[in-house]
Structure 1
Amino acid sequence: MATLIVGATGATGKQLVEQLLSMGQKVKVIVRPSGKIPDTWKNNDKISIIKANISEISVNEMMNYLIDCQSVASCLGHNITLKGIFGKPRKLVTDAVKLLCIAIQKNSPDKPVRFALMNTTANRNRDLNEPISIGEKLVMGLIRFFVPPQSDNEKAADFLRVNIGQNNKLIEWVAVRPDTLIDEGNVTEYELYASPIRSALSDPGKTSRINVGNFMSRLIVETDLWNKWKGQMPVIYNKET
């Protein structure tokens, strides 16, 4: 069985792909036709490369891509450019999550597919009592209104949380919430929490992309770790030294 990854050529998606490959896992990636693919992927028989724009894939096409996949991961995000932030598609992540979930359910797999979504600590888990000050609520409201990717991330996680829920027989999910993303060359120690332990606005932590890739790959591969966090939105921080 394989893992289908969307957003695989992004800075964090690449880390997830590399981590899974290092574990001997089979991987399918959906990349833009114009996307740059690492040379090491081209001759690796563990990876299948599908060149397509995610927003143009039909449900039936996605069903075919998923037919031999027991897990799915989304590391999709908006490019930090004016076009990436304010241009279309504004609901890139949400629409992809919906498409993947519809295709999975239409395939009616024999056992639940694991869906790992990269999200953000700026999004609260509304299933839990995650306190936020009035000032932060106002600021987040402005960010949500003026910065479309924030709303997109929230809606994507809410689709899993509300529409798929906790007792779906075909899909299990985890929404991984890193804080400020940074680049590091190696996996380091990291900490996991059910909810943020610091403010994403006034006291943000740091999370390396390679650590996010490591945690998401372990979720996909390690059943005990998956069972611990399924249906939740764990927060990941680099361990401070």
Structure 2
Amino acid sequence: MTTLVVGATGATGKHLVEQLLNSRQKVKVIVRSPEKLPETWKTNDQLSVIQASVSEITVDEMAGYIRDCDAVASCLGHHPNWKGIYGKPRRLVTDAVILLCHAIEKNAPGKPVKFVLMNTTGNRNRDLNEPVSMGQRLVIAILRLLLPPHVDNEKAADYLRTKMGQINSFIEWVAVRPDGLVNEDQVTGYEVHPSPTRSAIFNAGTVSRINVGHFMAELITNNDVWSKWKGQMPVIYQTAPKNRQS
């Protein structure tokens, strides 16, 4: 199996790549500065590096990059600084999702390509009747006005949900919604739910980035996990190792 990962050098993307490589999967990454990659990646025969900026790649070029891929994953996000939040491109994640989907459709693969998107628990799955308090609705409305990255995340997931839908000949998708990202060095316990079990605004949980990378890798490599969650927006929380679910 071969997976193309965009956002591979980010705080969560690097964990996804590591998990895939540890599983002996072939991985392609698109990065602007290959010299910044970990040395272990540079010497790994399972990894292919494409030097480019995702926002500057054409549909035809991307179709070539993913022609032999069974899965694509996006861990793209906006840098948490002024330029990253309010500068261009404001639709970084959404435009990448659209580009990747168009490239997959252009290739017209014989079986659906898995598309895994890292999203946010602050984004509601509008295919489900997820309860949201009036207070949270108000805060989210303010975030839409003040924080362009939040709108970007919403639109990216909505593109998969509404444009790709539940029945597509070329693409199957999952949008992973982590809550309260933290840094840890090892995979620990986590649990996965179809919808939030707590308020993302007023009672947020936590989950490590390495656990998110692990779950995304499980979606890609484990067909049973994929069958359980495809077409959904699962929420992932930290828990004790003995309670971990997939």
State the partner residue of 1:229: 229
Q: What is the Cα deviation at residue 33 of structure 1? A: 3.2
Q: What is the Cα deviation at residue 136 of structure 1? A: 1.2
Contact 2:74 2:118 (C-alpha < 8 Å) held by counterparts: yes
State the partner residue of 1:219: 219
Contact 1:9 1:35 (C-alpha < 8 Å) held by counterparts: no
Distance in 2, Cα, partners of 1:235 & 1:132: 15
Contact 2:59 2:102 (C-alpha < 8 Å) held by counterparts: yes
State the partner residue of 1:38: 38
Counterpart AA for 2:175: A
Contact 2:181 2:206 (C-alpha < 8 Å) held by counterparts: yes
Q: What is the Cα deviation at residue 133 of structure 1? A: 1.1
Contact 2:34 2:49 (C-alpha < 8 Å) held by counterparts: no
Distance in 1, Cα, partners of 2:52 & 2:33: 6
Distance in 1, Cα, partners of 2:215 & 2:154: 21
List gaps (5 residues or longer) in structure 2.
Answer: 242-246
Contact 1:5 1:27 (C-alpha < 8 Å) held by counterparts: yes
Q: Equivalent residue of 1:195, what SS? A: coil
Alignment of 1:24 with 2:13, yes or no, is no
Counterpart AA for 1:199: S
Alignment of 1:83 with 2:70, yes or no, is no
Contact 2:188 2:240 (C-alpha < 8 Å) held by counterparts: no
Runs of 4+ in 1 over 2 A off after TM superposition: none
Q: Equivalent residue of 1:140, what SS? A: helix
Using the size of structure 1 for normalisation, the TM-score is 0.98
Aligned residues, how many?
A: 241
Alignment of 1:202 with 2:202, yes or no, is yes
Using the size of structure 2 for normalisation, the TM-score is 0.96
Q: What is the Cα deviation at residue 60 of structure 1? A: 0.5
Distance in 2, Cα, partners of 1:74 & 1:21: 16
List gaps (5 residues or longer) in structure 1.
Answer: none
Distance in 2, Cα, partners of 1:134 & 1:206: 23
Q: What is the Cα deviation at residue 135 of structure 1? A: 1.5
State the partner residue of 1:133: 133
